[in-house]
Structures are given as C-alpha cells and as structure tokens.
Structure 1
C-alpha cells in the first residue's frame, strides 16, 4: 500500500480556510479513487483520533439535495475535525454503492412514494452495497488501529470491529432536518426504522 500527500485549504461552514492534508492511496481493492483528509496539522499521532467514513454523495455533498442529510453530515464532520483533529475517509460509493445514475432512478421512484430502501430494492439492489474493506486498508496505511468513529450507522461500526480496528467510542452526528415540500424527515425516519441508524427519532419527528 502506497500513499501520496498534499496540503489543501477547505471552505466549509463558517470557516473560510480550514487546513487539511489530502492523502491518495494505491493498492486499494476496488479500483476507486478514495482519499483521506487529515485535519489539525496532519496529526495522526493521537492515541485515539476521530475518524469518519463518508460515502460520496454528489447530490447532497455538492448540490445540497433536500432528500438527504449527507452534505450536512460532511460539514459537521469537517467542523468537528477542524476543532479537535481527525481523519475523514471520503469513499467513492455513491448511492450506498449503486452509483449516481441508479440513485437518480431511485429518486424517481421515491417521488412516486417509495422510501429510499424500497426504491433501491425495486431497481434490483440490496439495501446497502457498500464495502468498507478499502477504508480498513486506508486506516492501516495511516497506522490507525484504534479510533473514535463518527457515525450513526451500525454497519460501519461492525465493519471496523470485524476487521480488527478497535473502536473506542462512537460519536453520532446530529439529525439534520430539512423542511419544505420535499424534505428529508421521512428519509431520516426510514434510516432509523429500517437501517437501525442511531438517530434520535423523537428529534427527527418533532413538529416544525
């Protein structure tokens, strides 16, 4: 496993310049161009750094889609790591692994009344096709065997533990609720009820 590093400045949230080191890898299994962003003076010497495995979401991360909370989770993660340090693994697994075009097809089905899992299933896909084995290889390459994991998704927690990565603590993200005709409340509720995501369902369902 080999890696290449470069320093970058990010613009996110209320901060105009957040320094981070971006790391690319060779020797990953799936052939995708996953990267790591290391925050707070590129310090991976912390005994237990905060990490997040964030799956790429073009519609949410870049275009701030009303249907999901991906972009808000990403911003929250970067803000937290700007304050305390950490490592963000940005994984090219759009649409829980089904790809961008299929995700847009799933959007059409969601507009017709299906939830996010039902739409993926209707297109012939499992609930979640993501594989986090490359994330484990990335952590190994960075010398990280004990971490604090920022997630609401039990699948990510189990993937790391099954691979021998010690997860000292789980740090949840907020419930980012978007109002409007096409909001994301039902999406978040479905993640909790169907995907067992660790979000506070009462806060999600709170009246506006």
Structure 2
C-alpha cells in the first residue's frame, strides 16, 4: 500500500483542540483528527465521509450526529477520529444522490444500492490498520455500532466497543431499522 502522509497540524474546533494529519491513499485523502498525548489504549472512531449528513445536516441518516458525538466524546476522553473518504458507503456522491432518488420512490438504502449495481456496503478498512500502525497503536476502544468495522481490524486488539447513541428522527427511523435488521448494526 502506497500512502503519502502530511505533516501534523493544530486543529482548534468547537468540540475541542485537536491535531490533524492526512493520509493519501491513491486518490483518496483520509484524515486523522486526534488529541495530543494519546493514551496507550485510545478511543477510536472510524467514520466514513457523508457530505450530506456531516456538512449539510441531512436528517435522512445519522452520520452527522455520530461524527459530532465522536468528536465531543474524544475531545473529553482522548483518542482519534479516522475520517475515511468513502462517501455513500463508498459508492461516491453521484451514486449516493441517485440512491436517494430511489429511496424517495420507496426503496430502502440497501435496495437502492442494489438497483444501482452495488452491494449494500462497498466500504473497506485496510487503511485503518495502516494508520493505527503508523501511530504505533495495537489496542483500541472502538467507538462504533457497525460489526463490519469490528471484524475488519484483524491485527488490532479491540478491548472495548463503545456504542454511539443518537436519537432517531422521523426522516431516518426506517434507515436505522434497516441498518439494524439487514446490516446487523448494534443499535
């Protein structure tokens, strides 16, 4: 795996003061947002990009709320957010908007992906182990509800899974049900 790594920089935010570093893998530029003086077993959130949820505040998903929860939690408890550039479960923004259009016609998120020729979830997590190894991290407390993220970290010991709890709303209630019932998310 060929990865270019940026310098480390300060990132003061509304959540707290962090450090930031970029890991460029091919054409994807992933971010690591972390607290200074990481503990031996840091809290880690692996978060896939969601422009509509993270930036625009979409209520169709819980992504923005999960990211906010993670940044607040990590600012208080030390750790890192690994922000992966895998928009729309890694189908890209154009296809994600097309999936939204299918959802508007009654398809759930998985059915919409299948209609577009994709699997339910196209994301991969190899870069996560690369990043954790770069920081010399062998054990983590993983902030997630997604069992696929837990299973993907084969060479990293997960000593604890910390659930992310966000309140459903009328626009994402069915989406969350699909994540739980069809994708096995631990909600």
Structure 2 length-normalised TM: 0.95
Q: C-alpha separation between the residues in 1 aligned to 2:31 and 2:102?
A: 31
Do structure 1's residue 31 and structure 2's residue 13 form an aligned pair? no
Q: Structure 1 segments of 4 or more deviating over 4 A?
A: none
**Other structure's SS at 2:102 match:** helix
Matched, 1:154 2:147: yes
Offset at 1:3? 4.3
The answer to whether the aligner puts 1:4 opposite 2:7 as a matched pair is: yes
Aligned to 2:13, the other structure's residue is in SS state: strand
CA distance in structure 2 between the aligned counterparts of 1:175 and 1:116, rounded to whole angstroms: 19
Q: Deviations over 1:159-183 (max 9, x none)?
A: 01x2x1100000010043123xxx1
**Matching residue of 1:22:** 20
Is 1:66 equivalent to 2:59 in the alignment? yes
Task: Indicate the residue corresponding to 1:192 in structure 2.
Answer: 180
Measure how far apart 1:31 and its partner are: 3.2
Count of residues in Structure 1 that have an aligned counterpart in Structure 2 = 184
2: CA distance between counterparts of 1:62 and 1:72? 11
Aligned to 2:72: 79
**Distance in 1 (alpha carbons) for counterparts of 2:99 and 2:62:** 16
Gaps of 5+ in 1: 13-17, 200-208
Which string of whole-angstrom CA distances, capped at 9 and with x for unpartnered residues, describes residues 175-203 of structure 1?
Answer: 43123xxx10000000000000000xxxx
